[in-house]
Amino acid sequence: MIKDDIERYVDRYALGFDKGEGSNQFLRVKIPNGIVSTKQLRELAEMAHTYGRGYAEITTRQDLQLHWIDAEKALEVFRDLERIGFTTDKCGQAYPGARYGDIRNIVGCPAAGIDRDEFFDASPILMEVTKFFVGKRIY
């Protein structure tokens, strides 16, 4: 690994240890507010094909989880995620229990801003809160 890459990705990306399924590592891609573009979703599908045996799970926290991630490909995976605008930010997988910069994905309504019955669009606030916490070890 290249030192600059390690410093760039530390506290923003992590692989977790998978318990079963024949997979050693996995990761959870944070999708704040559950909002993802078709282009980003295609890129994530390609990543699932390339790194995760063509399989991905959508979690209850609006994350996308990939299994069978090869630790030797971690920097490639992190570069791809950064390029398309996502992070894992540890997502509860690097340590047992919430700590060390382990803020979970902040969930919201993916129809925010387009639902005509909503009181107001909370997605800009949610995105700002997400940006505030990403990569900050203190939280």
pLDDT at 39: 97
Alpha carbon distance 1, 79 (integer Å): 13
Q: Assign residue 53 a region (left: φ > 0; alpha: ψ between -120 and 50; beta: otherwise).
A: left
Higher pLDDT, 96 or 17: 17
**33 domain residue, yes or no:** yes
pLDDT at 37: 94
**139 domain residue, yes or no:** no
**20 domain residue, yes or no:** yes
Alpha carbon distance 11, 21 (integer Å): 26
Handedness of CA 59, 34, 49, 93 (dihedral sign): negative
pLDDT at 5: 65
Higher pLDDT, 24 or 102: 24
Q: In what order do the strands lie in the sheet with 16-17?
A: 16-17, 25-30, 63-67, 57-58
Instruction: For residue 92, give the CATH number of its domain.
Output: 3.30.70
**138 domain residue, yes or no:** no
Alpha carbon distance 34, 1 (integer Å): 32
**107 domain residue, yes or no:** yes
Tokens 């009181």: give the residue.
Answer: 119
pLDDT at 56: 93
Q: Tell me the pLDDT tens digit for each residue of 110-139.
A: 888 999 999 999 999 999 998 888 777 666
Residue 117: which domain range? Answer: 3-133
Query: Taking a C-beta distance cutoff of 8 angstroms, is the pair 16, 26 a contact?
Result: yes
**64 domain residue, yes or no:** yes
DSSP letter string over 50-78? HHSTT--EE-TTSEEEEE---GGGHHHHH
Domain count, the chain: 1
Q: Tell me the pLDDT tens digit for each residue of 19-76.
A: 666 667 888 898 999 889 999 999 999 999 999 999 999 998 899 999 888 888 888 9
Half-sphere exposure of 62 (CA within 13 A, CB side): 14
pLDDT at 46: 97
**24 domain residue, yes or no:** yes
**84 domain residue, yes or no:** yes
